[in-house]
Structures are given as C-alpha cells and as structure tokens.
Structure 1
C-alpha cells in the first residue's frame, strides 16, 4: 500500500489504464477554441458516480464516470473527447506525484472522509494564464466568480482561501478495509466502534508510554478498553493487520485551533481541559478570567488575529493567568456571550477567521473556548481606519514585522493562482 512520499507518474497512468471505469470531476477553462484541463479529481471507487454538468462560456465543470483508459490518456497529456467537448491536457507533467496516506476523518485539501484514503497529487504549471473573475452565468448555478464555482463544485462549501490549490491532478483511492466510525472516551473506558469491508486477522490496539492493550476482532462492532487511570497523554489507538495500519487516532494534548474530529466523543470533559492546560499559556493558548472589556478586549481580538494568521490557537474564558479554572460567573448567559464574541470578531477582524466556540464543563464549572483555525493567510485587527497585523511569540501577542506580513501575504493565494 502506498505511503507518504513520491510515486512515478507512469505508475499512476498504469493504475488508471487497468481499471474499467473511474469516477471523475473535471474542471475545464476556455482556451481559444478548445477546453484546457484546469483540475482533474479521479476517485478509484467501484461505487457509481453521480453525473453533473455546469457549462459557462469560460468554464465547464463535469462530474461523470470515465473509462480508465480515457483518464490514463489525459494523464499522459493526450487530447480526449469528453461529454461533447475536446479536452486539452498539459503534456509536460512532472515525472512524479506526491502521495499521502490519510487516516479516517483527516482533512486535507478541504476533503474529509470517514474511512482512510490514499491521495496522489500532481501540481499544475502556475505560469499558464488562468481563468478570470467574471460572473459565471449559464447552464448551471450562477456564481460571482470562478473561485466560488470551483469551491461549490468540488466541496459543496463556500469559497475561502484554501480552495486555491495548485494541483492539476488529484487521484483518490478509498481504503475501506477497516475504520473507526465512533470513539468514545470516558473517565475509565475507551470504546471504539469499528466498521470495514475486510477485517480478517485485524487487531485493535491502544498504546501509551507505559504499555499497551490489544483486542482481536470478531468483525465489525464495538470494542472497549478499561482505563483505570484514564486516558494517558500521547495515547495511540490503532486498527492494524500485522505491520499494516488500517486506521488510527492519536490523543496528545488537544490540537489547538483545529477542527475537532467528528468521530471522537469525549465523555470526560474535565480531563480534556486538563490536557489543554497541560503546557500552560503559550504559542497556541490564551486564558481570560472573563469576557474582556476595553483594552483587554482589544488584546484578545489581536490574539485571535495572530492565531488565525499562523497555526491557529485557543482562547479559554473562565481560566485565570495562573491556569486556575474559575469558570464563568453563574449570572453568565452563554448564548448571549456567544453572540457577543461573534459580533466582536466580525466587527474588528479582517477577514473574519474560521473559528468554533463551545462550552467545556469541568467539575461543575463552565469554561468558554474559542478555537481559532489557522488559515494560511494574514488576518488584521481594525483599529479605526488602520489595519494592524499581529503574530504570536510564545505567550505574547506582538505587532508583526514587515517581513512577517510580506511572508504571510506571499503564502496567501492571489488572483493569479487560477
């Protein structure tokens, strides 16, 4: 099975060529009298593909089942007639593709699946003139511009900066031998619900620094591990067959500013908060005793902007600087505070970062968490008519230097990406 690294493009061509059919999403842009391939996403799956066709004067978006030989020819750079149009594919591709094997529920390039998968990507030549930003009106939904149409077609999600990928080809192979459909972590018990199409000889293992436990599987179903001392830091839950992993989850201190894994249910919110606070305030964590006012509010908003401009982070409200958990006051209206914070972020940060707010219960005390995602672009705090940029240095939020701002904008996609 493929692992992270490089794969010869010729190997992918052969892989496509030997399949009777593949599911494909093709994004085409008008190039004179022909249609040039802008992005191809191919899924090596036996499940039938639904069919969609959005056609505009400058772009076309097609979802259909293709003969494997047709997909292989496109990957070789050969022109093909597809769905009534002549598709021109770049013929000078890289000789290798980047390959990455992903566990279940892992997001990469805005894609998440319940089961593990292997993905191969080949970058496009970004020096080729790309599609413009005109309104798209035609035989399909109307869109403000090409970027919005691309995000809706590939992801069924609103456009944001992460849509601007540079891959020309994306080949996805689902790995459905076995996966975790649900994991529940309690104070003294971990329960994993396992599903899959080939679980013969598979075992389930939970391991930590001081030891491990292993269960043999009788097929799909629910399996439990007793944890008398609770879930240890840096525990690893592994579904494997001999030396090959099928799916896995790791449980370090919670990932700061990342979307939470939908398959994991924490029934021990106290320990979850303890893990979050284990390393104290720092690069990815800021604590506030209560919803701040005045200058303290400005500082919190600047910190949220700094989190969003880099790797993300979490603001905890109801925790003192010395990490003592005091909780929200009994008079606090959580729904009102949620709306208040949302308004603060919307009115003072540009662009508005992606974040999630939630309440964590800890020994009868409520702590409000604002989990900010890192978006790969700079986010500014609006100070009157002036935009200010900040970065996180350890536990401090400081003004960004010119080279840091420049680097942040260089990483962010621009209109020339497409």
Structure 2
C-alpha cells in the first residue's frame, strides 16, 4: 500500500467486523442526557494483553478495554453502543474516508512511537462533536485541572502540551509485525542491524547510497552487518523489504534537524554523525560557534534558537568554527558548566521556552556541544528586558521576522484542545 492516502470508512468498518476483539481507548463527554464520544483509539492487535482502566467523573469518562470487533465497528459506523455499562453515543455518521499513513518502526506521529511499523487511519472531529468543559475533574480516577490534562495523561502518560494539539475523532492502528529493524549500530567501518519479525520469509536487507548498494538475504531474525570501508555515505538508506514492498527502513541524511533522536540508532563513535551533520555546511538549519558566545555573539545565537523554534527547527554546534573546522570546547570551564551556561541563556532569553535538547558529542577527543531545536509550531521571541523580538532563518542568516510572518506564526499555533 502507499505510504499515505485515503481509505474508505466502509473498508475500516469491514476490517473491524472481522476481528474477534480489538483494544480501545475512549474519551467520553457527558451532556444533559448522553455520554458522547469525543475521541476513540482502536488497535487491531490480536492476543496482546491489556490492563483495563476506567476513570469516571461527572462530566467525562476515559475507558481502556477490549471490545468485540463488531461493537467497535458499530461505533465507527455511528451506531449507539453500550460500553462498560455506559451508553455511548457517537456524533453521527463519520466522514466517508479516513486519512491513511504507513509508518516505519520508531517513527513518532501524534505523540506515539512503536518498536514495530504500523498503519494508522484517522478521521477528524467535526463541529458537531461535543467539546469538553474546563472544570476540575474529581471522581473515580486521578484528579485533573481539566479534561485536556486528563486525556493527555490517559492516552500518553505525559503532561498536556498545547503544541501536541490533535483534532481526531477516530484513530485506528494496525501493527505491521512481519519484520522490523530493532537496532542499528553505526561504527567507523561497520553498520550492524538487528532484525526482528514474525514473517521474514523471502525478505532482503539492503544498504543503498548514491554510488551503489549492498543487498543481502534475511534468513530470519538475527544480526546482519555491512562493511563501511569509507564510512557511512551521506544520504544512505537501509531497507528491509520483500519484493517490491518495504517492511521497515532507516534513512541517514545529514541528521534531521531539531527532531527527536531515534533511540534504535546507536552511533558507536559519534564522530561520523558529526561529519554527516556538517556535510551541508551552515545554512537554514545549522549554525556554528567557536565557543560559548558572549555579548553580541550571544544575542545572535539566542535569536537563531528562537528562529529555529519558530519554523522547522535547527542545530547550533558550539566548538566548530565558521569554516566547519571542529576545534572543540575550551578545556575550562568544565564542559558540563559550559552546557549549563547555554541552557541558562536559553531559559532567560527565549519565550516561551523552546523545545530543544542539549548534548555533548565527542569527536576525536574534542567535545562539541549540540543544541538541537525542534520546530515548535508557533512563534518564539528573543527577549531583552521587556522587549520581545521575532526572527526567522533565511539561508545561513537570522533576520527579523516580517509582520505577516509573525501573524502567520501565531495563527498556526495550536489551540488548547486535547490532541
């Protein structure tokens, strides 16, 4: 199937009808007469143990349980159903089609990451769906300030973040466990992949790059290696496939700026990773600093971090000259103190606090501090005193944002809903 597209809702109803049981999570909102469905997550996963949960309050309920497939299908179709003793009313017939995404293992989408590939279908909530109140939730379950916080805790076991806004009425997940890449280790001259899966007959593993590829057959779960006589080539692709269908994959371009690092990929010696990061030079997503900046250089770095967060993210490398020569951080003060100094600068001068991760990379005995900033989905300001300034990245330069860019940034900021 394609990596993305549309699927008829009737096809999803038929798929659910064929299942003896599915795992569901339901968020319900109480109005004057009914318990109405606000959000539903369904996992079509046979035989997976489930710890059932039920949080009930006067105005909301959150349920996690196993349901017969036909019951879930009826809810998706728009039919009222009794669930855990609660008469659940869906908000009318759903959309005629669902958005479809096929995701590799370890790929985060909608705050969810799984160790195996999966297919997800989503159906958006329309205006007729009941909106939760803002009251305190106190009842048969943990207490919360409001519905949004309760839902985030119930679904993700994480604090609520407005930047994780979702508008899905339905989210249906089908695990794809035929085969996946459990762990990849990249050394200076060898790439090792641990392959897992339930159906690997006829599968092949191939490492591809611009100048060629290395295929090898997969004889079941296990460890497979690829020699790297010249190191890992820029823009390499590791593909687990069967004939013309992919089972799982990993891509190794210059690292994806500002996004969460893939825990399944281990750089045995971080030096090669840094070399790949520097391959494209300074630009829209990369800024280099010789040392922890002071004065005007400090202001420039903080403005750049605000600009990265306001758009698609980026990385600041401290310990690298403008000509991309890796010189490392000074020996004094200690590296951890230099890192804390930068973290303090960001905390004091960028509002709201931007999404980022700081880490130290060791390259041939030289320490480089990487500040990896995620795109935050809204505008972030550099603050000096009471004055707030907004910036964007244009190529290798950080420039003041124009009025229409600032307005667009605030318009795209997510509203305070639960998803």
TM-score band, normalised by the shorter chain?
over 0.9
> 2:147 matched to 1:146?
yes
Is the counterpart of residue 31 in structure 1 residue 31 in structure 2?
yes
CA distance in 2, matches of 1:417, 1:143: 13
Report how far residue 138 of structure 1 moved.
1.6
Determine the structure 2 residue equivalent to 1:306: 307
1:401-412 equivalences in 2 (<5 Å): 401-412=402-413
Q: Indicate whether 1:377 and 2:378 are aligned.
A: yes
Within 1, Cα distance between the matches of 2:59 and 2:12? 30
Structure 2: distance between partners of 1:49 and 1:134: 30
What TM-score do you get using the length of structure 1 for normalisation?
A: 0.96
> Shift of the alpha carbon at 1:18?
1.0
Match of 2:414 in 1: 413
- In structure 1, how many angstroms separate the alpha carbons of the residues matched to 2:21 and 2:163? 30
Cα displacement (A) at 1:293: 1.5
CA–CA separation in structure 2 for the residues paired with 1:385 and 1:126:
39
Q: How does 1:191-270 map to 2 (within 5 A)?
A: 191-270=192-271
- Contact preservation (8 Å) 1:183, 1:263: yes
Structure 1 residues not aligned, in runs of 5+: none
Instruction: Name the stretch that deviates more: 36-45 or 141-150.
Output: 141-150
Which consecutive aligned stretches of 4+ in structure 1 deviate over 6 angstroms post-superposition?
A: none
CA distance in 2, matches of 1:2, 1:93: 23
Contact 2:162–2:417 (8 Å) recurs in 1: no
Tell me the distance in 1 between the aligned counterparts of 2:209 and 2:15. 38
Contact 1:351 1:379 in 2 (8 A): yes
Moved more, 352-361 or 5-14: 352-361
Please say if 1:329 is aligned against 2:296: no
Deviation, 1:416, is: 6.4
Match of residue 185 from structure 1: 186
Please say if residues 376 and 411 of structure 1, whose CA atoms lie closer than 8 Å, have aligned partners that are also in contact.
yes
How far the C-alpha of 1:193 sits from its partner, in A, is 0.5
Mapped partners of 1:342, 1:307: distance in 2:
16
CA contact (8 A) 1:191 1:222 kept: yes
Question: 5+ residue gaps in structure 2?
Answer: none
Matched, 1:320 2:317: no
Deviations along 1:298-327, one digit per CA (max 9) or x if unpaired, are: 221111111111111000001112222111
- What is the DSSP-based 3-state SS (H/G/I as helix, E as strand, rest coil) of the residue aligned with 1:11? helix
Aligned Cα root-mean-square deviation (Å): 1.5
CA drift of 1:129 comes to: 5.1
Offset of 1:115 from its aligned partner?
0.6
Cα distance, 1:111 vs structure 2: 0.6
Q: Does 1:21 align with 2:21?
A: yes
TM-score, with normalisation over the residues of structure 2? 0.96
The DSSP-based 3-state class of the residue aligned with 2:301 is helix
**Partner SS, residue 171 of structure 2:** strand
Instruction: State the shift of 1:347 in Å.
Output: 2.1
